[in-house]
Amino acid sequence: MQRASAQDVLAIRGGRPIRPTFLPFHRPSIDESDERGLTETLRSGWLTTGAKTKAFEKTLAAYVGAAHCIGLNSCTAALHLALDAVGVSAGDEVITTPMTFAATANVICHRGARPVFVDVEADTQNIDATLIEAAITPRTRAILPVDFAGQPADMDAVNAIAAKHGLPVIEDAAHSIGAEYKGVRVGSIADLTAFSFYATKNITSGEGGALTTNNDDWAERIQMMSLHGISRDAWKRYTDAGYRHWDIIYPGYKYNMFDLQASLLLTQFKRIEMFWARRRSITARLSAGLAEVPEIATLAERPFVTHAYHLFPIVIETEQLRADRDTIMSALQAENIGIGVHYRAVHLHPYYRSLGFERGMFPRAEHYSDRTLSLPFFPGMSDADVDDVVAGVKKVIAYYRR
Ligand SMILES: *Cc1c(COP(=O)(O)O)cnc(C)c1O
C-alpha cells in the first residue's frame, strides 16, 4: 500500500494513480454454480416463467417469512404493481422519501398519483417518520419508505402512523434483502415489500424483482397484473396439463420473472449469507480506514437493525475542502477508484421540479445529495482493494484540504 500524503501528485494532475488498474464501483459475484444452473435451465427446454420461478418465489417467501412472493422482472415493476394492488390511482398522493432512486417516485407518477416527499433523518438518510403525519391529507393512499443503503427505515414508527390513518405501507427493499428490523426480516414487516435483483444489488439476475405480502387478495391481483391481467396460472398454458383457454380480466402488464432469471437467483441465494458476511467485513475495514479523515462522515447504523450493507456511501464535508463533490469524484476516478452517487435527491430533478418541488424543501436530503458519493463495495473485493480505496480517498482529501 502506498502512503498517501499531501505531497503526492493527484493522478488527475498527472501523478501516478493509487493503483495501476481500475477498481470498478461494483462487480457482480458470478461463480460456476451460477453457470451450471443457467446451463441446466437453458437445456431444460423451458425458458420463460415456470418451475424455477416458482421455486425461487417459494424460497424467498420462506426466507422473509411472508405468505406470498411474486417473481417479477424488476423492482420498478414490483413497486408499480404494489401501488396498483392497494388502489392508488389518479389524483391520489403517496408519501415517500426524496433520497431514493428514480423508480420509487416515478411509479407513483405512473399511477397518475402525486409523490409527497418527506425529509430524511440526517444520520441514516431514511425517511424521518416524525414528519410523516403532517404530510398526510385526505388524498393520501399509501406510504412508501425506502431502506436506504441496506438499513431498514424506522418501520415501527411508519407502521404505527399508517395503522392510525388506515394506510398501507409499501417498503422499497431494493437495498435491503436479508436485513432485519427488531428481529423481523425485511419482507414481512410492511404490507407489501419490493425487492430488486438488478446487476448491482446484493443478489442479482442482471434484472429482476419480487414482491412479498401476507395479503391473499393483493397477491392474486399482483400475480394476474404481472402477466397481461389474464386468468391465474396462465404461465401453465403450454404444459402437459393440457391446453387451457385464458381470459383477460384487466389490461395488465408484462412484468413476469422468467426461469433464466430465477435460475441465477436460486444459485445466488445459496451464497446470500456469505455475501453478507463479506459485505460486513468490508464495511468494517472501510470504516476503520476512513475514521481518521475528519472531512468524511459515514451513515449511522441503528442498534436494533441487522443491516444488509448494500452500499458504502460517504458524506464529504466540502466546506472544509477546496473542492466540491464532483471534483473529488473525478479525482478518485483518475486514481483508478470507481465511484457511484446514491443519490442526487429526486425532488431536484427537472421533472419533479416541474411538479413544483424546489431546493430548500428537504434540507437534510439536499445536504446529503450535494456531498455524497459511494465507494467501491462488493463481496469480490480483496482486502488490498479496500486498502487502495482508503488510500485513494486519503490522498485526494489531503490534496484538497484547506
Ligand atoms: C435499484 C432500485 C430500484 C429499482 O430496481 P430495478 O430492479 O432496477 O427496477 C428501486 N428503488 C431503489 C431504492 C433502488 O436502489
User: Quick one: pLDDT at residue 7?
Assistant: 52
Write out pLDDT tens, residues 253-295.
999 999 999 999 999 999 999 999 999 999 999 999 999 999 9
Q: How far is the CA of 64 from the centre of ligand 1 (A)?
A: 19
Query: Is the pTM of the predicted complex or chain greater than 0.85?
Result: yes
pLDDT bin (cut points 50, 70, 90) of residue 3 is: low
Written as nine digits, the cell of 277 is 458476511
Cβ of residue 175 lying under 6 Å from some atom of ligand 1? yes
Write out pLDDT tens, residues 50-98.
999 999 999 999 999 999 999 999 999 999 999 999 999 999 999 999 9
User: Quick one: pLDDT at residue 238?
Assistant: 67
Alpha carbon distance 268, 227 (integer Å): 25
Q: How far is the CA of 181 from the centre of ligand 1 (A)?
A: 20
Catalytic residue selected from 52, 201, 394, 395: 201
Look at residue 230 and tell me whether its pLDDT is greater than 50. yes
Which phi and psi (to 5°) does residue 245 adopt? -70, 155
Cβ of residue 267 lying under 6 Å from some atom of ligand 1? no
DSSP codes of every residue in 27-85 = -----HHHHHHHHHHHHTT--SSSHHHHHHHHHHHHHHT-SEEEEES-HHHHHHHHHHH
SS3 content of the chain, % helix, strand, coil (to 5): 40, 15, 45
Look at residue 383 and tell me whether its pLDDT is greater than 80. yes
Look at residue 353 and tell me whether its pLDDT is greater than 60. yes
Spell out the alpha helix ranges (H) of 212-305. Answer: 216-225, 259-269, 272-290
- The closest residue, in CA terms, to atom 8 on ligand 1 is 198
Residue 175 Cα: closest atom of ligand 1: 15
Cβ of residue 263 lying under 6 Å from some atom of ligand 1? no
Residue 147 Cα: closest atom of ligand 1: 13
Residues 219-247, mean pLDDT to the nearest whole number: 83
Residue 182 bears catalytic tag: no
Alpha carbon distance 212, 289 (integer Å): 38
- The closest residue, in CA terms, to atom 5 on ligand 1 is 75
Cβ of residue 198 lying under 6 Å from some atom of ligand 1? yes
